[in-house]
Structure 1
Amino acid sequence: MTYGSNITAQKWKTRTEFPKEEISDDWDNDYYLSSLSYNNNLWTVISSKTSDYSLQSWRTRVDFPKDEITELWDAGYAITELTYGNDVWALVMSKGSSHSGQKWSTTTEFPKDKIKEYWDEGRSIIKLAYGQGKWALVGSKTDDITLQRWRTSETFPTEEIEENLALGYSITQLEYLNDRWVLVLSKYTDNRSQQLITSESFPKEEIRKHWESDYYITSVGRQEIEPEIEPEIAEPEPTTETTKPYSAPENSTNPRITGVWNGTSLGDAEDVEITFEDNNVITIISGDEVMGGENFEIEDIPAGLSYELNMDVVPHQIDIVFTMFNVEFSRIKGIFEFSGKNEIMMLLSDDPEADRPKGFISKSGTETFKLKKTSSK
């Protein structure tokens, strides 16, 4: 829920059928659709009194409503809501918004490349939706948003939300789509603050209390939790312990990261130099200590330090693998993201037994590095 937007009053409703009559009644009373979603066999409609819109129109179609979008664009409307539920696409378009130069696209995979393309063109993410086996993305030019980022997660992204709210971002969209949480965060030109509500049931009392403090609903997301089924325990099959030489998986490096990076460990402000080779070898120099590199040994024992990347998720994942006699001995898990053309932020767990960090929040047992590329390999 958001404080500081242009909303002055709000209503919500949930319905099993698309609430066309209720939408019409709200329009008659100067309320506009500000959020529309479908989860757990229910439509959730948020209607608001706001200066953001002057006129609205909606459509529901079995197939993606590309013709309707073009028709309403030609009439001066812009897409302000798009969702899929109960076997139909639901489209809301508005006049009077700050959106211009809109584009939409559909892809079978999550549209991370299209998002980057839209950002490079100066467009912001207005809506992500999923239906009929495809993702739909709407991008728009707007003066209200200055910066954006997105995350997807199988579990509710509490840490990512808290971290980014502290950095001045606001939630633009938070929905459970295609078995994952989709989070879009934006920095707005106006001063606004947000509060997150989570609840096992629809939080009508919490909403009412926040309305009294002039906080209004921004986005509603639901995840249907299936009851856990006790798994059958099978007798373990006999196994033979084997030791295989370590080798990094294919495609586990990336040209963008290979090279020499210099920076600091934010925990102790110590200078560090990290070299990523294109053969997955990593060298870490901190003070007088050198770890890794070619011909790395510990007390005359052949050792190795390698890295593995997973660039298909955001934040990107990195594993630093320590080997002895060319056999994996331990593995440190971490995350990283590019904060500029030649800058990265990297967060590593100190303990090989620890889980991978979920967000860029420095905690006990983790180390954060801010690095800048000083040489390409």
Structure 2
Amino acid sequence: MTTAISAKEYNFASSRYKYIGVFEKERKDQHIDSTMGLRDFRKIIKQRWSEGYDISEIKYGSGNWIGVFTKTAKETHQTYVVARRWSGVNNILPEYWKKGYYVTSIEHGLSEWIVVFEKNTPYTNQAFERRKNLDDFYAAVENRWKEGFDLIDLEYGQGRWTGIFAEGTGYTDQAMIIRSRWSEIVPLIESYWAKGYRISNIESTLGKWMCIFSKSKGARGQGYETSPTVEALKEVFAERQEKGFKLTDLAEGW
């Protein structure tokens, strides 16, 4: 059964930022760290790697870089690149794919792209799509689905929506919904949970909320929490850790 930890809408002022944390019923050793400067954030990544934690999620919003780190097996290996323009990422992708790395996460903040690569994933192939127009992006996603790819991450930056796709994810089906208000997303989450889907990615940009739902065998109970600040998010994270939940995705919007 799907477990909704908290499915209520908080009465935050529309001008205030809020974070949406998606949690899954699985006990994992995780940490959440934040800082305002990218240079300091890179130091945090280096420190967590030295402690045996991998990057699970990166989010920039409201002046903060936030990282979620998960204790991982020794055979995994991560690296990342920072680029001013997507063309810089595009130029190195073939080289990283050739070495057995796949993109697992992308984030855009303060005119910088952070792209996380990982070895020893279940992925067997990868692609990306970038479109200026949202309708064109949705059409590109549908075409990739027809080709057997799954959408594993999406981000808006440099005037384009960017989607990262992979084969070998273990997903059996996906759906994407787009709405203008978070309040419109809430009932749809409930309906997709009832159909056996789980949230695999949420993004908020240019006045749009975009939610990716995925089906897979052995899906665990899922829920989400809204938090008005990074500090409140960290408190919620600690509470959910104690109850045996891991943080799987993070969105920032208002």
TM-score, scaled to structure 2: 0.83
Is 2:136 aligned against 1:136? Answer: no
Native 8 Å contact 1:54 1:96 kept in 2: yes
Q: Pick from 152, 163, 166 the counterpart of residue 194 of structure 2.
A: 166
1:125 matches 2:155: no
What's the CA shift for 1:143? Answer: 4.3
Within a 5 Å distance, the mapping from 1:4-83 to structure 2 comes to 4=26, 8-18=28-38, 19-51=41-73, 54-64=76-86, 65-83=89-107
Q: Which residue of 2 aligns with 1:289?
A: none
Partner SS, residue 192 of structure 1: coil
- Output the CA distance in 2 between the equivalents of 1:155 and 1:112: 18
Map of 1:155-304 to 2, 5 A cutoff? 155-156=181-182, 157-202=185-230, 203-224=233-254
Q: Which amino acid aligns with 1:13?
A: D
Counterpart of 1:103 in structure 2 is 127
CA RMSD of aligned residues (A): 1.6
Structure of higher CA gyration radius: 1
Post-superposition shift, 1:40? 1.4
Look up the SS of the partner of 2:178 in the other structure: strand
Residues 101 and 154 of structure 1, relative CA distance in 2, 3 Å threshold: same
Q: Deviations over 1:159-186 (max 9, x none)?
A: 1111112222111111212221111111
Structure 2: how far apart are the matches of 1:162 and 1:15?
Answer: 33
* Equivalence for 1:366: none
CA offset digits 1:133-159 (Å, max 9, x no partner): 011111100242111101111111111
In 2: Cα distance, 1:72 partner to 1:63 partner: 17
**Aligned-partner SS, 2:248:** coil
**C-alpha distance in structure 1 between counterparts of 2:28 and 2:61, whole Å:** 27
**2-side partners of 1:12 and 1:197: how far apart?**
15
Equivalent of 2:112 in 88, 91, 99: 88
Say if 2:150 and 2:169, in contact at 8 Å, map to a contact too. Answer: no
Amino acid at match of 2:186: T
Higher helix share: 2
Q: Distance in 2 between matches of 1:29 and 1:76?
A: 23
Q: CA offset at residue 190 of structure 1? A: 2.3
Contact preservation (8 Å) 1:11, 1:48: yes
CA distance in 1, matches of 2:244, 2:219: 14
Return the letter of the residue paired with 1:85. G
Q: Which has the higher contact order (CA 8 A, sep 6+)?
A: 2
- 1:98 match: secondary structure: coil
Alpha carbons of structure 1 residues 51 and 179: separation in structure 2 relative to 1, 3 Å:
farther
CA distance in 2, matches of 1:89, 1:29: 25
The 4+ residue runs of structure 1 with deviation greater than 4 A are none
Closer, same or farther in 2 for the Cα pair 1:53/1:191, shift >3 Å? Answer: farther
| 3-state SS of paired residue (1:207) | helix
| Matched-pair contact (CA < 8 Å) for 1:126–1:139 | yes
Q: Aligned equivalents of 2:178 and 2:74: distance in 1? A: 28
Checking the alignment, whether the CA contact within 8 Å between 1:53 and 1:97 is kept in structure 2 is: no
Counterparts of 2:74 and 2:243 in 1: how far apart (Å)? 21
Q: CA deviation at 1:67?
A: 1.5
CA contact (8 A) 1:144 1:190 kept: no
**How far apart are residue 68 of structure 1 and its match?**
2.4
Q: Structure 2 stretches of 5 or more lacking a match?
A: 1-22
Residue 52 (structure 1) shift: 10
